[in-house]
């Protein structure tokens, strides 16, 4: 679809229609389905809607858009080795070094094979460290104050849905989501 066609297709859809079960594509594979959530477009409209969502509406939205989290899985060591050493560069080098070793260039072949393996191991260690750091960041969860049905309640940050009103103050500022400031002020870097 082009952007215009996609917009036309989704404009007439109601929230209830968007909550239908995922559709199946070819060979029974699940296909991506667009979920539309109505959020006021201006700050003034956001402030006017600052009563918060109802519990039932928030529950339906949570079922529609899923929890406020980024699922991320760290590759196992076997997956790292397989992904790294199955790249064309390493396959080509391995074939060249085997030919060199077969042709009795033992010292040069063994030295270059050692350099390639050290580089591969270093690259896998760096990739693994990056994946672990990313997994820690994406697993962050906080308890936040959310306004539901006009009352402030404590909720997990994973239960925040689009359009929720969240109180951010004092040392409770880390909230893993995008926010718009409705009242008060904030200094950001």
33-68 tens-digit pLDDT: 676 767 777 777 777 766 777 788 888 888 888 888
Of 29-33, 156-160, 170-174, which gets the smallest average pLDDT? 29-33
What is the percent of the chain with per-residue pLDDT over 90, rounded to a whole number?
Answer: 14
| Res 102: pLDDT | 86
Structure tokens at 142: 């906080």
Give one DSSP letter per residue of 159-184, joined into a string: G--TT-EEE--TT----SS-----SS
Measured CA to CA in angstroms, residue 103 lies from 90, 95, 96, 109, 111 at distances of 20, 12, 11, 9, 15
Q: pLDDT tens-digit profile of 102-150?
A: 888 888 888 888 898 999 999 999 999 999 999 988 888 888 888 888 8
Report yes or no: 158 and 150 within 8 Å, Cβ to Cβ. no
**Phi, psi values for residue 59, rounded to 5°:** -65, -40
The pTM for the full model equals 0.58
């Amino acid at each position: 679809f082009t952007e215009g066609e996609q917009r036309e297709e989704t404009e007439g859809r109601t929230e209830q229609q968007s909550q239908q079960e995922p559709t199946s594509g070819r060979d029974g594979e699940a296909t991506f389905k667009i979920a539309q959530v109505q959020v006021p477009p201006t700050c003034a409209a956001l402030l006017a809607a600052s009563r918060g969502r109802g519990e039932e509406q928030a529950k339906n939205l949570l079922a529609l858009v899923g929890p406020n989290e980024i699922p991320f899985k760290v590759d196992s060591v076997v997956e790292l080795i397989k992904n790294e050493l199955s790249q064309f560069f390493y396959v080509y080098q391995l074939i060249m070094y085997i030919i060199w070793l077969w042709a009795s260039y033992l010292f040069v072949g063994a030295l270059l094979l050692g350099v390639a393996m050290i580089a591969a191991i270093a690259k896998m260690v760096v990739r693994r460290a990056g994946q672990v750091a990313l997994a820690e960041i994406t697993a962050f969860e906080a308890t936040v104050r959310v306004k539901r049905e006009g009352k402030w309640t404590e909720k997990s940050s994973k239960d925040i849905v689009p359009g929720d009103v969240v109180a951010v103050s004092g040392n409770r500022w880390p909230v893993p989501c995008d926010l718009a400031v409705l009242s008060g002020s904030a200094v950001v870097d």
